[in-house]
Chains A and B, each alone.
Chain A
Amino acid sequence: MATATAPATDTHHDAHDPHATNTGISNNKLAMWLFLSTECLLFGALISTYLIYKTRGNGEVLPTDLFDIPFTSVSSFVLLMSSLTMVLALSAFGRNDLDRGKAWLLVTAMLGAVFMGGQAYEFTAFYEEGLGYTTNPAASAFYTLTGFHGAHVSIGIIMLMSLWVAANQGKLTGKNSETVEIVGLYWHFVDLVWIFIFTVIYLIPPE
C-alpha cells in the first residue's frame, strides 16, 4: 500500500484512462465497493434487530410460526440463479456480444422480479394469517428487514432495466462493460445478503 505507483501519464492533463488511479481500481468501482461495505452495517443493524426481537410479543402470532421453508427456498434459489445470469451478462458485454448481454440482463431482472413476486406473496399470506406490520416487535422487525432487502432488489431491477435500455440505444457497449460490472457488484451483494437472511432468519429455528 505504502508504495503506490504513480501513473505514468499523470503530469499531463490528458490522462483519460480511468484506470490511471493509485490503487489500479477505477474510482467508480472503488466507490461501489465502499458503498457496499457501508451497506453491510445497514443490514447488520437490521438483522441484529430482528434476532433480538424474533420471539418478542404478547402471545400474538410470530413470523417464525409462519415460515414456509420450501416456498422461500424456491424463491431464494431463483435469486441465486440471477447472480449466475448477471455474471453471464457481464461476460457477454466483456466479449462485446451485445445481443447476449442484453438478453442476460433481461433474464437477471426477470429473476429478480420473480423473487419480488415471491416476497409479495409471502407478505400477503402472512398478513392474512394475522401477522400485520404492527402486530408485535417480531413482526415489525421481520417486515422491516425483508422489506429493506426487497427495496434493494427493486432498485437493482431498475438499474438492470436502465442498463438494458441504454444497451438498446447503443449507449452501452463492450467498451463500458465496467458499468455492467459495477451494477453486478451491487446485485451480487444483494443476493449475498439474502443468503445470510435466509440462513439466519428462516433456517435456524427459534430456541
Chain B
Amino acid sequence: MAIIEEPLALTSGEQHAERPLGVLTRPQANGSWKDWVSTVDHKKIGIMYGVAAMFFFLLGGLEALLIRTQLAFPESGFLSADVYNQIFTMHGVTMIFLFVMPFAAAFANYLIPLQIGARDVAFPRLNALSFWVWLSGAIFLNTSWIVGGGGADCGWFCYSPNSGITFSPTNGVDFYAIGLLITGIASLVSAVNLAVTCLNMRAPGMSLFRMPVLTWMLLVTQFLLAFALPVITVALLLLLFDRQFDSQFFDPEAGADPLLWQHLFWIFGHPEVYIIILPSFGIISEVIPAFSRKPIFGYSFMVFSGIAIGFMGWGVWAHHMFVSGIGPISVFAFSMATMFIAVPTGVKILNWLATMWGGKLHFSTAMLFAVGTVTMFTIGGLSGVTHSLAPADTQQTDTYYIVAHFHYVIFGGGVLGLFAGVYFWWPKVFGHLLNERRGKIHFWTMLIGFNLTFGPMHVLGLQGMSRRINTYSSGFGFEFWNLVATIGSYILGASVLYFLWNVYKSKKEAPNLPAPGPDPWDARSLEWSIPSPTPEHNFDEIPVVESQDDWWFRKYNIEDDGSVVRISSAEDAAQKGDAVGVHLPSPSFWPLVLAIGLPLIGYGVIFNLWLCVVGGLLTGGAIYAWVLEPVDDPDADGHGHDDHHDGDDPDGELATVGAAGDDTEGEG
C-alpha cells in the first residue's frame, strides 16, 4: 500500500540513478529546511499550501482595504483611476486563485488521504509539483507590480477588448494570463492526482459511499477543476497570443467576436464558483455533525446533491452574460437552469438544518463558523436566485448588488467554511487547540465586519452604484452606505489579524495545556483515529472500514432499544502512532526545479525569448531527472529518517544524461 507511485522505466532496484543529472543529491529527511523544499508528504504539502494561501489572503485583503479606503468618501483622490483598476483586478485574482483555491487545496491535500485511510496521495511527487508550480505562478503573477508596469487592470474576468493592448498597454495582462496558466497547470495536476487518490487508494471496506462528505465534495471539486481548467487555458492562450503574437482572436475590427472570451471565461468561471464553494460545504458537513452529536442527515442526499451541483454547474455560465445580447432563447434556458441549480443547494442547506435539529448542539468556534457559513451562504444564495430572473438581472448587472452577492457566496459561504475547518482540524495538524475564547471573538468580529462591509452593497447596488468605477459623485445617496462598508472592511481586516494573533498565542500557550489527544471533538471520520499531530506515516495499520462513520462506531454502540452506549474511549480505540519501518516515498528536489522553470518561460514570452530556452531546458531536464529517479530511494528506509546522508557532493560531476525514460508523469 505504501508504494504509491510505480517507478516507470526501471525494471528493478539494482539500476537506480542516485543522481540522475549529477546535480542534486537525493535528499534525505534530516530535519532541515530541505525537508520542506523536497518533501512529498501530503501533510507537509498541505501545511505549505495553507501558509502560502494565508499570505496571499493578507495581500488580497490589503488590496481590498485600499479599494474601500478609496470609496469611503465621494470624489476621493486616494487612488488614481488607473491604480484603482489594477488594485481591484489583483484583489479578485489574488483572492480567488491565490487564496480560496489553494486554501481549499490545503484541506484536500491534508485530509483526503486521512479520511480514506491512505498513507499518501496516489502520486506524492506530483503533489509536491502542484504546490511548487502553484507558488511559482502566484509569485510570477505578483511580480507584475515590479517588472510588468503594474498589475492587470481588466478585472478578474478580463473581458476583451479591454484586455487588448490598446486598452491595457502595460504587461499586467500578460502576467495575468501567464500567471493563471501556470497556476492552472498546478490545479490540473492536483485534480488528476487527488481524483486518482479518491478512486484508487481507499482503505479496505472504504467504499465510495462510505467516504466522508468532505472527501466526496473534494472529489467532485477535482472533477470540476479537471474539466474547467482546460477551457480557461485555451481562453488565456488566445488572449496571450493576441497580445504577444498579434493573432486576431478578440479584435472586432478584424472580424473577431469579443463574446468568445466571455463564453470561454464563464464556461470555466461558473464551475469555478462551485470549485470554491464545494470544499467549504464539505468542511461544514463534517463540523456540524460533530457538534450536533448526530450523524449527517441524509448522507446520500448530501452526496448526490453535491454531484448534481457538479453537473448542473456546467449549464448556467451564460447567466453572467444576460446583457451581452445572447438572444431570448439562450436567456430563457440559462434562467431556468440557474433556478434549478438552487434546488440541490437548498437540499444541502435543509440537510444541515436537519442535522442540527434535535441534536445536542455545542457551539465551539468551528461550529459557529459552520453555522455562520450556512446562514451567510443562504443570504448569498437568495440574492443569487434573484439574478436568475433575467429582467431583474438586467437592472443589477455591473452594480454593487452583484458585488454584494458574490461576496456573500464566496466569503460568507466559502471563506467562513474554510475557517470552520481551520478551527476544527487545527489540533489534528499541529497537536494543540486554537484558543476557543479568542476564536469566538475572531468569529463575531469577522461576522460583523463582513456583514457591515457587504450588506450595504445590496442597497448601493439597487440604488444604481456601478461597480469597477474608482469613485462616485456626492448627492446620489451613496455616501452613508459606502462609509459603513469601509468601516466594516476595517473591522474585517482587524478580525483576520486577530486570528493570526490567536494562532501565535495558542502556540505559545500550548505547552502548558493538556494535549488534545487523538479525538478532541469526539468526531466521526478516520483522521481522528490516529494521534495528533498526525504521525508521518499516518496510520500504523491501514484500517479496515466496516461502515460509514466507522471511527464513531469504534467508540459507540447502538443498542437494540436505540440508545447509544459508549464502548471505548477515543484514546483506547485510537492507533498509537508508534509503528516503525513503515515504507514511505522518498523526498525529491525535482518538483521544485521543474516549478522554477515555468515562470522563466513566462518571463521569456514577455521579455526575451532566450529566457524561454533556459526555462524550457530546466523544465525538460527536471522531467527527465524526475522520471529517472526511482520513487523509492534504495538507500533510505523506514520513515526516511536516515543518517547516512552524504550531503551535497561538491565534486559531483555533471553526468551525461545516459538514460531516458518516458515522461508520462510529466504529462499528467
Contacts and interface: CB of A to CB of B under 8 A. Distances in A.
Interface of A: 1-4, 6-7, 9-16, 18, 20-23, 25-28, 30-32, 34-35, 37-39, 41-42, 44-46, 49, 52-53, 56-58, 133-137, 139-141, 144, 155, 158-159, 161-163, 165-166, 169-173, 175-176, 179, 182-183, 186
**Closest 7 pairs (CB-CB, A-B):** A6-B204, A140-B247, A42-B230, A45-B234, A21-B200, A41-B230, A56-B255
A2 B668 contact: no
Interface in B247-269: 247-249, 251, 254-257, 260, 264, 267
Interface in B217-244: 226-231, 233-235, 237-238, 241
B11 A173 contact: yes
A2 B541 CA distance: 23
Contact of B199 (A2, A30, A49): A30
24 contacts: A9-B1, A15-B1, A22-B200, A22-B202, A27-B5, A27-B200, A28-B6, A32-B664, A37-B226, A37-B227, A44-B230, A45-B234, A46-B234, A49-B238, A49-B249, A57-B254, A57-B255, A58-B255, A137-B251, A137-B256, A159-B662, A166-B659, A166-B661, A171-B9
A171 B13 CA distance: 11
Nearest to B227: A41
Given A21-B201, A27-B4, A49 B208 contact: no
B377 interface: no
B192 interface: yes
B208 A162 contact: no
B570 interface: no
A107 B501 CA distance: 64
Given A1-B208, A4-B207, 19 more contacts: A2-B209, A4-B206, A12-B1, A20-B1, A22-B199, A23-B200, A28-B5, A34-B195, A38-B192, A41-B227, A45-B267, A49-B238, A49-B260, A53-B257, A134-B248, A135-B248, A137-B254, A140-B249, A179-B8
Nearest to B583: A13
A35 B668 contact: yes
Contacts of A186: 664, 667
A30 B200 contact: yes
A161 B582 CA distance: 37
B542 A137 contact: no
A162 B11 contact: no
Which of B188, B203, B255, B658 has the largest count of A CB atoms less than 10 A from its CB?
B255
B261 to A, nearest CB: 10
A53 B255 CA distance: 8
Contacts of B254: 56-58, 136-137
A155 B257 contact: no
Given A27-B196, A31-B193, A49-B260, A13 B664 contact: no
B660 interface: yes
A9 B2 CA distance: 11
Given A49-B260, A137-B248, A171-B661, A18 B6 contact: yes
A137 B255 contact: yes
Contacts of A10: 1, 203-204, 542
A25 B195 CA distance: 13
A32 B200 contact: no
B22 interface: no
Contacts of A13: 1-2, 581-583
Contacts of A52: 257, 260
Given A169-B659, A176-B8, A182 B664 contact: yes
Given A34-B226, A38-B188, A58-B254, A165 B659 contact: yes
Contact of B235 (A30, A45, A135, A171): A45
Nearest to B3: A16
B401 to A, nearest CB: 31
A38 B667 contact: no
A170 B14 CA distance: 12
Contacts, number: 207
Given A49-B234, A159-B662, A162-B660, A31 B248 contact: no
A72 to B, nearest CB: 22
Contacts of B206: 4
B176 to A, nearest CB: 19
Interface of B: 1-6, 8-11, 15, 122-123, 188, 191-193, 195-196, 199-209, 226-231, 233-235, 237-238, 241, 245-249, 251, 254-257, 260, 264, 267, 541-542, 544, 581-583, 624, 658-665, 667-668
Contact of A176 (B11, B15, B196, B228): B11
A135 B255 CA distance: 11
Contacts of B2: 13, 15
Which of A31, A140, A183 has the largest count of B CB atoms less than 10 A from its CB?
A31
Contacts of B207: 2-4
Nearest to A56: B255
Nearest to A156: B667
A31 B668 contact: yes
A39 B192 CA distance: 12
Contacts of A58: 254-255
Nearest to A46: B234
A38 B4 contact: no
B209 A166 contact: no
Contact of B230 (A45, A161, A162): A45
A141 B204 contact: no
A13 B228 CA distance: 37
B491 to A, nearest CB: 42
Given A10-B204, A22-B201, A34-B192, A171 B663 contact: no
A13 B201 CA distance: 14
Which of B238, B251, B660 has the largest count of A CB atoms less than 10 A from its CB?
B660
Contacts of B664: 28, 32, 159, 179, 182-183, 186
A24 B105 CA distance: 27
Nearest to B253: A58
A7 B204 contact: yes
A144 B238 contact: yes
A6 B11 contact: no
Contact of B231 (A16, A45, A172): A45
Contact of A11 (B204, B256, B581, B659): B204
Which of A42, A45, A173 has the largest count of B CB atoms less than 10 A from its CB?
A45
Contacts of A158: 663
A23 B196 CA distance: 10
Given A155-B667, A171-B9, A45 B200 contact: no
B249 A141 contact: yes
A170 B661 CA distance: 11
Given A34-B196, A38-B188, A172-B9, A179 B659 contact: no
Contacts of A136: 248, 254-255
A197 B237 CA distance: 19
